[in-house]
């Protein structure tokens, strides 16, 4: 169960995958086999999950499909917060920067996550795609109007925002009180399928992991080596990781081991 966080979403300078720039979504114009939200791969993990199939067209009319290329920005901190996003596929990083360049990644967002929760007038963070990202973009005013018709949308967002807050709390404990080794162990447990023998490919590099854990890239690398040498994890090809000793890794992550 991967992590996440985020906050805003935004006016963006991104490449557009589906050629329907400012055009409202139309079922008949949809790409892929499903051709409408009910057939979307993210149908039951995204915002639409709050609605029954019969009500989907109204939500779909407010949604715009986009594909964000790897490395492109979904939103930039400080920009007017016009849009709200629902990720359907791919991974992006949410981060804040200090004036001198120090960066803190506050979360990674994957399929099903909302970007733009609890936003004020301007985005409070930047979001960059780590791989190609498919998403639904909503105009915030349009979406707010839909809340009146479908209170279940608002409930879904309230639950999602609450979950974000829980994850943020856990991350504050990690950043404020855990050692480098404990941070890395916690991170891997959240991202790697514990059972998978084949190994899981991490979508982010060492630099992003460092910015997420409040460490430097060198410290992350050193602690990867420590975990590997202690036979707690196995590293096949760089970011292809396998958890070898889940109990041992968990012990380190929760701070049980001295």
Helices (H), 121-213: 140-149, 151-177, 180-191, 206-213
Binding flag, residue 97, DNA (CB under 7 A) = no
Binding flag, residue 171, a second copy (CB under 8 A) = yes
CB proximity list for 35: less than 8 A, separation 6 or greater: 27, 28
Applying CB under 8 A, the span of 30-38, 47-55, 143-151, 223-231 interacting with a second copy comes to: 143-151
* Longest pairwise C-alpha distance within the chain: 60
Applying CB under 8 A, the span of 32-40, 52-60, 62-70, 91-99 interacting with a second copy comes to: 91-99
CB proximity list for 34: less than 8 A, separation 6 or greater: 40, 41
Binding flag, residue 239, DNA (CB under 7 A) = yes
Binding flag, residue 217, DNA (CB under 7 A) = yes
- Kindly list the strands in the beta sheet with 103-109, ordered across the sheet, starting from the edge strand earlier in the chain: 73-75, 126-129, 92-97, 103-109
Among 115, 220, 227, 232, binds DNA (CB under 7 A): 220
Among 149, 163, 225, 236, binds a second copy (CB under 8 A): 163
Cβ–Cβ < 8 Å for 64, 12: no
118 binds, among a second copy, DNA, none (CB under 5 to 8 A by kind): a second copy
Binding flag, residue 221, DNA (CB under 7 A) = yes
58 binds, among DNA, a second copy, none (CB under 5 to 8 A by kind): none
Binding flag, residue 206, DNA (CB under 7 A) = yes
Among 103, 140, 222, 228, binds a second copy (CB under 8 A): 103
CA distance 127 to 7: 9
CB proximity list for 202: less than 8 A, separation 6 or greater: 191, 192, 209, 239, 240, 241
The count of chain residues that interact with a second copy, using the rule CB under 8 A, is 47
Q: What are phi and psi of 86, to 5 degrees?
A: -130, 115
Q: Which DSSP category does 24 fall into?
A: P
C-alpha 244, offset from chain centre: 26
The structure tokens listed for 121 are 């007038």
Binding flag, residue 173, a second copy (CB under 8 A) = yes
11-50 residues in contact with a second copy (CB under 8 A) are none
CA distance 220 to 226: 10
Binding flag, residue 255, DNA (CB under 7 A) = no
Q: How far is the CB of 198 from DNA (least distance, A)?
A: 15
Tell which residue, 46, 16, 45, has the closest CA to residue 31. 16
Binding flag, residue 166, a second copy (CB under 8 A) = yes
Give the interface with a second copy as residue ranges (CB under 8 A): 5, 7, 96, 98-100, 102-104, 106, 117-120, 124-125, 147-148, 151, 154-155, 157-159, 161-166, 168-173, 175-178, 211, 213-214, 254-256, 258
The site for DNA (CB under 7 A) is made up of 179-181, 205-207, 214-222, 224-225, 235, 237-239
């Amino acid at each position: 169960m991967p992590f996440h966080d985020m906050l805003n979403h935004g006016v963006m300078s991104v490449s557009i995958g589906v050629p329907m720039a400012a055009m409202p979504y139309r079922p008949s114009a949809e790409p892929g086999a499903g051709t409408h939200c009910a057939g979307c791969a993210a149908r039951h993990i995204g915002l639409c999950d709050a609605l029954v199939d019969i009500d989907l067209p109204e939500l779909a009319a407010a949604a715009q499909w986009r594909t964000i290329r790897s490395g492109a920005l979904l939103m930039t901190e400080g920009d007017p917060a016009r849009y709200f996003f629902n990720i359907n596929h791919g991974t992006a990083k949410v981060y804040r920067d200090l004036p001198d360049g120090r960066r803190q990644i506050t979360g990674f967002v994957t399929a099903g996550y909302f970007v733009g929760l609890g936003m004020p007038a301007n985005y409070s963070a930047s979001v960059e795609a780590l791989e190609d990202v498919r998403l639904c973009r909503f105009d915030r005013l349009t979406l707010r109007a839909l809340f009146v018709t479908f209170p279940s949308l608002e409930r879904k967002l309230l639950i999602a925002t609450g979950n974000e807050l829980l994850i943020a709390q856990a991350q504050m404990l990690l950043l404020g009180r855990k050692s480098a080794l404990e941070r890395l162990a916690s991170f891997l447990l959240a991202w790697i399928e514990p059972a998978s023998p084949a190994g899981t490919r991490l979508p982010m590099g060492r630099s992003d992991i460092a910015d997420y854990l409040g460490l430097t890239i060198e410290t992350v690398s050193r602690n990867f080596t420590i975990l590997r040498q202690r036979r707690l994890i196995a590293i096949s090809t760089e970011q292809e990781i396998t958890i070898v000793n889940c109990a041992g890794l968990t012990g380190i992550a929760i701070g049980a081991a001295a």
